[in-house]
Amino acid sequence: MKKTISNLFFILMLSLPFGGIAQEVTAENPAIIPQPAEIEWKEGVFTLPEKTVVCYNSEAKASAAWLQQLLKNTNSESFSMEGEDCLGFSLVIDESLEESLGKEGYKLNVSNDKVELEAATENGMFYAIQTLRQMFPAEIETGKISEEIKLKQVAITDVPKYEWRGSMIDISRSFFGPEYIKKHIDRMAFYKLNRLHLHLTDDQGWRIEIKQLPKLTEVGSKGAVKGGRSGFLTQDEYKEIQEYAAARNIIIIPEIDMPGHNYSALMAYPELNCDEFANLTPARATPPELYHEYNVGWSKFCLENPETYDFVATVLGEMAEITEGPWLHIGGDEIEDPLYEEFMVKADSIVRGLGKTTIGWEEATKAEVDSSFISQRWHGEVESVVDVKVIESICSSFYFDHANVEGQESTNNWCKEDGVTLKNVYDFKSDNPNVLGVEAPVWTEMVLSDSALDDRFWPRSIAMAEVGWSKTENREYKDFLNRLGKHGERLDRMKVNYYRTPEVNWNSERSDGVFSGFTPSSK
């Protein structure tokens, strides 16, 4: 049943200039990324009045806070109220729309007197607001806009192609803490990315507090690659990051790498090693030495040792307890051992016993893991013995630790010598019916600062976002380059140190703007 609007607000609404007669617009269409499934630009505009109403049904109350936060940076004073069919801004969440829009789709209609946003869930409404945000001038990212704002009239119906649109930060080889991770989450959310994979452990460092095994952080967190940062996330910090991400429709996936890539754990608890460190081959370091080099994958648990499984159960048990999302990633790559397959089956069983779904790198599917297992493909060469869902992270398309362009300094090149270009990312296609989506990792052995990590992620993550969201038939590279170039000023104002890809006609130089954070008090 529609809510009755109070007389006071009704009089207010009638007195406000909610946009004028539709008028011809000669300016270019706003650059929306990712490309919506259906979009029809129209000739008129919606003129943002000096006072406006953000009207919502009860299910959309939290979403309305996001929109009001956006409007605070405009010349309009907004009032929020529960109701439907209002002039101004109208937000409706209706679960019956899930059949047509899914859990993340939305409709956005801008007419001469109303901006209507509809979705089946808060997720979909959040993405409708992100699209609307891209229709505002870039100045909205850094402060109040005093000039009159006109939004071009449009009808959008949008549904994502893939349910998994991910980004991965390796915080083990060089540590990146909560401040950077939250900034990355904000940027992901703006481009409708919804999975953040944190690679928490490797040979160089252990980055998550495990209270039953305190030496993992007391000792194991001290290492890093040369010039890199050491450190770790406390469990409280990890929980806070998850809460921050969840408010932006992003789920955190923690990775505890096993049974290899784990010298930091073996240094902290040397009793987990085999006699004479036979499990460290070649022994690039031995306890109590820290490891600061770049090579990885030379260490592994002593798989004949029953205590190994006690350790694994303890670590995964605590991670399951503090992880809100349904997934635990257990690594599983780059190891040769006669007991490897047996270990992966047991580790998968432990994860499932904890009520979580297991993810592992594609090598794990050489073992007969459960059908619920999710394989993350990074080179595509493993002949799987199980039929499971897949995340595509093929290195030639999605390993962003590789160069933006051939010859870029301080980048990897082992997968693709001439780099992973913007076009390499954008051209990715898959016909595999088991694919859940795409994810782009950055491994940090050569990434030692926030600005360097920005350079690796952006703008290639924007191309990956369109690959993950937009229909293949709606994607056209030249059109994408044109739209991407119009995001240059916005990225500058968001303080993103993106790589200025030469083939893109960027619309702005760097600026000293400060990103507002776009965080409503109710979240």
Q: Which residues are known catalytic residues?
A: 334
DSSP class of residue 33 equals S
Q: Quick check: helix, strand or coil at residue 350?
A: helix
Q: Please, what is the end-to-end C-alpha distance for the chain in angstroms?
A: 27
Instruction: List helix spans (H) across 405-510.
Output: 422-426, 450-457, 460-469, 477-485, 488-493
Whose CA is closest to 17, among 44, 43, 52, 45? 52
Strands of 300-347, DSSP E = 327-331
Residue 162 to residue 29: CA distance in whole angstroms: 26
Residue 292 to residue 301: CA distance in whole angstroms: 20
- Is the CB of residue 61 less than 8 Å from the CB of residue 3? no
Residue 202 to residue 257: CA distance in whole angstroms: 6
Residue 362 to residue 378: CA distance in whole angstroms: 7
Whose CA is closest to 253, among 383, 439, 382? 439
Residue 243 to residue 209: CA distance in whole angstroms: 17
DSSP class of residue 66 equals H
What is the DSSP code string of 159-181? --S-SEEEEEEE-SSS---HHHH
DSSP class of residue 319 equals H
Q: Which residues contact 214 (CB under 8 A, 6 or more apart)?
A: none
88-93 and 251-258 strand pairing: unpaired
Residue 358 to residue 333: CA distance in whole angstroms: 14
DSSP class of residue 470 equals S
- Is the CB of residue 420 less than 8 Å from the CB of residue 401? no
Residue 28 to residue 368: CA distance in whole angstroms: 54
Residue 57 to residue 5: CA distance in whole angstroms: 11
- What is each CA distance from 100 to 107, 126, 158, 470, 473, in whole angstroms? 10, 17, 10, 16, 19
Helices (H) and strands (E) in the chain, counts: 16, 15
Residue 333 to residue 393: CA distance in whole angstroms: 13
